[in-house]
Structure 1
């Protein structure tokens, strides 16, 4: 019924050459620049708070970072309590209301944010005394009220509900649950049920137990004097009651005993989320820490890394493939190689990910790869030094991770000293293809048959099945029989009947629709108008400005993108006319040629699958007859991609049911359009199609 279009921003790169240079040779690297990191001056309060001060008088600004370096907390049946505590922190204090608190922070042009075990503030240095006072007051005397608690609880539950069928969100939480176990802080689930188990008293208890100064660090950087900081911090934070957080124990994570595919069936998935992962015991103070970072950079650390060059540039399987390696002083972390790929290449992508991991562990990297990875780290490191937040983090890491005082001063020197052998040794130690857990979340009816035939080094990789909450499950059964008498024609006729009937639809001479979505924090508007006279207009606007517009008026039409107009060719006009029909199912019945391909799951519903053309498939709910989803195979950037439009929240307008929620998905892009208005036989005139 409706077809939406995605946009990409074009970047232009300019280069100017002032001399003849042999560009076939990479320039020789110069010596590592000397890093002059100012060491913080420190002091401690009797309650245990450790304070680090770095004076920097270049700009009249100051930043304050409070961090509680506590071990992770297992929340169990009250998972979500930590999140709720963090969202309630910073809502004023017992001495100042939330509105007055926020108004004063805004008036001072400052920033002040809180988490469950952290706080951050920045302001002009002349406001430092007041901002520090506000931070301390809100941290030590939080304003926990039942009213705010209920609001934050409702927001958290709403957020969880939006993730119920979000393939990416489910993939992420199952990956962690299978890596660490559900009885580990990094693997446990926050659900609507666990959130409902949390009371305001639980939040207050969490704050009292864990928001304590024993492992607390306060880093102050900027245009301030040490003596002033010491005086103000002592005054404002001395009332913080001395306490130590409780000691907790939880299950020790274990790697898979053998390489295996853990499959999570998501019938609404339009692409597969893949993670090849294993546990790593890596800490910043380890001698091979930088070796591991460089190895990961070469494997999957960016657009020049092996995974990206293989799966995107060479194979065209995905928009991007990356890897990451974590470090944690409190216990194991993970190495992960990931990709979001088209359904039809899911098995091939798994094979390529495993091959690349196997290759970097068994074969030396090239000198060029090593040099490029080092250059990237050097550039990022030097640029990061310009941010006060970076200096704060470096000072904090030295204290909390047990690093030598010169860890960052010698950082570049040690990066440049990493050898090819160091990279291979780190790869063997931290990247595993022999006991990797390959977590695939996708549409089983389209990917499972091929996944079950995946082999690594000539051996079959077994497939185990899990549900959306990481519990073991049976292999999905996709043999849904179509009842006798059900045909493509009967499915189309039922749809037409349930949305209003043929007579009602035939009486529609025009309709207009206005819908809205969000794109990177900006409002995206979709306006669409159609008539029974082969007239169609679709305008997509960002922040009120037209980004793409399409118009058909009989046998002529055009499209505009960012102010550039192009008349439609005969073939383009023909295709767009097919999309422009007010109710295309009426045309499907007349044209014929539609085939019933069977029944499949779409989300948590069973649907009849109708093949409209070689490029288009439409799914209709078995029970209600309503249209659930439309899948189009299109070419984008030389690659075959799937574009999916899902329909939901049907409401009646002028006796006809229209979907009031449209979910557009293509590759990694997803837009949830909420229909704001539909007018039938109203709001459309000839000028709309000029």
Structure 2
């Protein structure tokens, strides 16, 4: 059975989830419409929560005994068919219903289709309404004496508080022989503290309907806190324990290290993970941004390394972003543990020598039995800015691959039917930036898709965009901004950007002015300057036995362009 405490944890979890359902217009609409579909009448989440809160242990056991206990079950096992075996899978013969002939349901016999009459012409696309100005949240700033920077905004729509503590450093502070140490340390931060075991903390968080978690990647470690407003004190007490008093037990370390190695093994089956990991490796080389975490590097890490790395956690290189149902004064009164957090000097490198790419090459990773090829390519680009080359490049990229109206999407999906999506992007930070393009395509179309991608690159950088594409881009940017700061997570991202790049709210006006004044000639010039099809690193994750020879035979296309790319195989 289960205890009353177990039931209370489930109910609190449902309360927290129900609040998240009301975070955005989309989630509200989805919730209301689903109630309508299910014939439940007017949507009333408060009544629904009350209904669940009235459920007792006796109710649950009654339903379990009636519908689940000792009931027969259907177990469905799905396995991919090997492309190298012609013979049918022997598992098929074990299905007792494999040869069952299904008869037509009598209730559908003799039915005819009655076409509905429309009051409007569906062939005419409705005109979009004028975009409304986005409501940018007001915010406050604070800096503690220990160096911790704080930014926050109060929003009382939902009775929850969301917090993100960012600690700069991440993999930038790790020796290349111990790649993966930042991530392993973050995982250990979610384990036992000097007072409580990880199990005790987990149970307490479930009771509160809260979460306190750590993660690390790239140049940072992040602690994320989410809590019901009424439980914020208890949640912050747990956050204090985790941040300032980790136990770093040997047993926890042994288990977490084992889980990390198992996770790495599972990641080898993820084409997107492999693709982006090895693209970063080609673009950033042996710098911390390009290093690949391996089993060898993880096995080398000792508990003493984790303890030593933890000493890099300091308020002097940290920032806290707070969003939700809490005002400035109340927040500051509840985070004395952060005010008293001991500061230390941490030197974080900021300049790196990235390798130069002088020719476009293919890097092929074999994924045995893959039914499609994951293609990701790119080259280095500008560092982050809000009103310079990076921002203007993002505007330029939109008609090419910024969404479902982009040329890549329309060509590879709508026209050719080789993929579910094809996109390009500019991504940047304080230290680096890249331009990239990505798509998962049918295995048999891998070489053809590559040709079409470079055709689009060539057309875009030589002929340029149309006036129609330019206007659509402007409308999309302006219209998309309306919901840019809607959810708590979006507000967290916006405020984090303000703090990270030392911006003021006026940067949005600068961006709007650039967007409104940019011309076709500007976009064409930016495309020529910022997209370099002749200096791309192309990573393809797929079945090499089915695609390698086609890629080797990829010499030229009807447009006269040469595609004689060197192919390099990568073992992982």
2:392 alignment partner in structure 1: 291
CA distance in 2, matches of 1:174, 1:222: 38
CA shift, 1:152, in A, is 1.0
Distance verdict in 2 for CA 1:463–1:213, change over 3 Å: same
How large is the RMSD of aligned CA atoms in angstroms? 2.9
Note the 1:580-659 alignment, pairs <5 A: none
Distance across 1 between alignment mates of 2:506 and 2:468: 29
Q: Does 1:148 align with 2:249?
A: no
Match of 1:223 among 307, 325, 328: 325
Following superposition, the deviation at residue 411 of structure 1 comes to: 5.2
The one-character-per-residue Cα deviations of 1:363-398 (angstroms, maximum 9, x if unpaired) are 232233333334444444322422122222212211
Deviations 1:13-67 (A, max 9, x none): xxx999868964663662x533342332222111100112322233332222211
Residue 237 (structure 2) pairs with residue 136 (structure 1)? no
**Cα distance, 1:418–1:21 mapped onto 2, change above 3 Å:** farther
User: Aligned match of 1:421 in 510, 518, 521?
Assistant: 521
Distance 1:57 1:247, change over 3 A: closer
Q: Which one has the bigger strand percentage?
A: 1
1:201 matched to 2:304:
yes
Match 2:547 to one of 420, 424, 447: 447
Partner of 2:177: 77
Q: Which residue of 2 aligns with 1:46?
A: 145
Shift of 1:106: 1.6
Does the 8 Å contact 2:171/2:181 carry over to 1?
no
For 1:442 and 1:343, the matched residues in 2 are separated by 7
Contact map agreement 1:275 1:439 (CA 8 A) in 2: yes
Q: Tell me how far 1:164 sits from its aligned partner.
A: 4.3
What residue in structure 2 maps to residue 329 of structure 1?
A: 430
| Alpha carbons of structure 1 residues 423 and 133: separation in structure 2 relative to 1, 3 Å | farther
Shift, 1:112, TM fit: 2.0
SS of residue in 2 equivalent to 1:468: coil
Note if 1:64 corresponds to 2:163: yes
Aligned-partner SS, 2:469:
helix
| Alignment partner, residue 486 of structure 1 | none
| Aligned residue runs from structure 1 range 487-636, under 5 A | none
Q: Structure 1: give runs of 5+ residues left out of the alignment.
A: 6-15, 470-690
- State the structure with bigger RCO (CA 8 A, min sep 6), 1 or 2: 2
> Match for residue 201 of structure 2?
101
Q: TM-score if structure 1 supplies the norm length?
A: 0.61
Given that residues 408 and 453 in structure 2 are in contact (C-alpha distance below 8 angstroms), is that contact kept between their aligned partners in structure 1?
yes
State whether residues 170 and 468 of structure 1, in contact with CA within 8 Å, keep that contact through their aligned partners in structure 2.
no
Structure 1 residues 403-482: aligned runs within 5 Å? 403-408=503-508, 414-452=514-552, 453-455=554-556, 457-469=560-572
What TM-score results when the alignment is normalised by the length of structure 2? 0.72
CA gap 1:28/1:312 in 2 versus in 1, 3 angstroms: closer
CA shift at 1:208, angstroms? 0.9
1:127–1:415 distance in 2 versus 1, CA, 3 Å: farther
**1:191 and 2:294 aligned:** yes
For the 8 Å contact 1:358–1:432, the answer to whether it is kept is no
Evaluate the alpha carbon distance shift between residue 392 and residue 170 of structure 1 in structure 2; reply closer, same or farther with a 3 A threshold. Answer: closer
Match of 1:338 among 420, 434, 438: 438
Deviations 1:98-129 (A, max 9, x none): 23322222212222222241112122223223
Matched position secondary structure for 2:437: strand
In the alignment, structure 2 segments of 5+ residues that lack a partner are 1-88, 96-115
> Larger Cα Rg: Structure 1 or Structure 2?
1
2:132 to 33, 36, 39: 33
3-state DSSP of counterpart to 2:321: strand
Given the alignment of the two structures, is residue 263 of structure 1 paired with residue 364 of structure 2, yes or no?
Answer: yes
Q: Aligned to 1:405, what secondary structure does the other structure show? A: coil
- Equivalents in 1 of 2:442, 2:91: separation in Å? 20
Counting helix residues as a fraction of each chain, which structure ranks higher?
A: 2
Instruction: Go from structure 1 to structure 2 and tell me whether the alpha carbon gap of 1:164 and 1:206 turns closer, same or farther (over 3 Å shift).
Output: same
Match of 2:212 among 112, 121, 124: 112
Q: Is the 8 A contact 2:401 2:422 kept in 1?
A: yes
Q: Distance in 1 between matches of 2:497 and 2:437?
A: 26
- Alpha carbons 1:184, 1:250 under 8 Å: kept: no
Classify 1:71/1:189 alpha carbon distance in 2 versus 1 (closer, same or farther; 3 Å). Answer: closer
Encode CA deviations 1:118-154: one digit per residue, 9 max, x unaligned: 1121222232233223222311222321111111111
